[in-house]
Every structure is written in structure tokens, then in C-alpha cells.
Amino acid sequence: MSELWATYWPVFVVAVAIGLIVGILIFRPRQKVTLSREEEPVRAHMRQQPAITPQHDIPPQVVRTAPRHEGIVDEVAAATSDVVGQVIGTRVHANLPEGEQPDDLQRMKGVGPKLAAILNSQGLMTYAQIAALTPSDVERIDAELGAFKGRLVRDRIVEQAAFLARGDQAGYEASFGKL
């Protein structure tokens, strides 16, 4: 037995290392979701998009969404869901604006035409989309705002959008002043 061990000890060490790695991969803790508030989960794919009705007439625009810079696994999953969605005839991306008219983002305090154009280029066309941003989404978008960096947090744009998405004009005016 000692000759066997002396001859093949590197093979045993490699086998134990492979066994440990496989064990860690199989028995590692799975994704945990914690709630930031009772009604809104932290994970972006679990958020409910509030239904809103446009309160003004804006001509429809062509929407170009910015790339999300996700990993290859996310891209493959999105492509697969697109194909499956076409095959079964359903809308698989509930958060994408399809036939929805964009809101006038300039109604919010601190959002001018340039910031509104940047937000639109990021794919944020409605108040509901902005209101549904998580803190990590805000950080990601804020990094791409250039001269407007920090404006989303400083002017509480997400909070303003939440009031406007709900149609709560009285609550908005109580918190941020007259529209």
C-alpha cells in the first residue's frame, strides 16, 4: 500500500482537489433575494411594472435601446427567450416599451432636454421605467451621464418618476413643488 501511495500520490491529490471543486459547485448556496421594501424585490426581473396611462399627446418616436453590457450567458438566455416568445406568440420582455407612448421626462424637476435625451438613449422612455430602477441600475446609468453625473440621486429623479407614474400629482407637488 505504501508503494502505491508513494507512486500515485499526485493523482490522489488531483482527484481530491477535483472532488472538492465539484462539491463546492454542486452544494454552493443558491441565489438569495432580499426585499428592500415589502412590495418591491431587489432583483430587476422580479419587479412589477405599474400600468400608466399617458396624460398628454406626444408623437411616437423610434426607440433605440442602449446595450446592457451583460455576460454571454445573459445574452444567450435573452436570445432564447426571444425565439421562444415568437414561437409561442407571446411578449417575453414585459419591461420593454412596445407601442407605448413615451412620457415627457422634462416635467420632472432637474430634467432638461439634454438629460431627457440621454435617458431616452438609455431606453428609459416612461416614468414607470425610471421609477422601477434599482440602486444598482441608478449607479450604472449615472456612470454614463457625463456632465449630468449625480443628477439622478441629487434631484431624486427616481422618486419624482414614481409619483408621476402613479398619477399622484398632489403627492408630487407636496414633495417637489408645483409641476
User: Is 101 exposed, middle or buried (CB count within 10 Å of its CB: 0-12, 13-18, 19+)?
Assistant: middle
Non-local (6+) Cβ contacts of 100 within 8 A are 125, 126
Is the pTM higher than 0.85? The answer reads no
Domains identified in the chain, total number: 2
C-alpha cell at 28: 454552493
Residue numbers of the domain that contains 75: 44-53+62-176
Nearest to 128 by CA among 154, 107, 102, 146: 102
Same domain membership, residue 21 and residue 48? no
C-alpha cell at 128: 414607470
Same domain membership, residue 158 and residue 71? yes
| pLDDT value, residue 61 | 43
| pLDDT value, residue 19 | 94
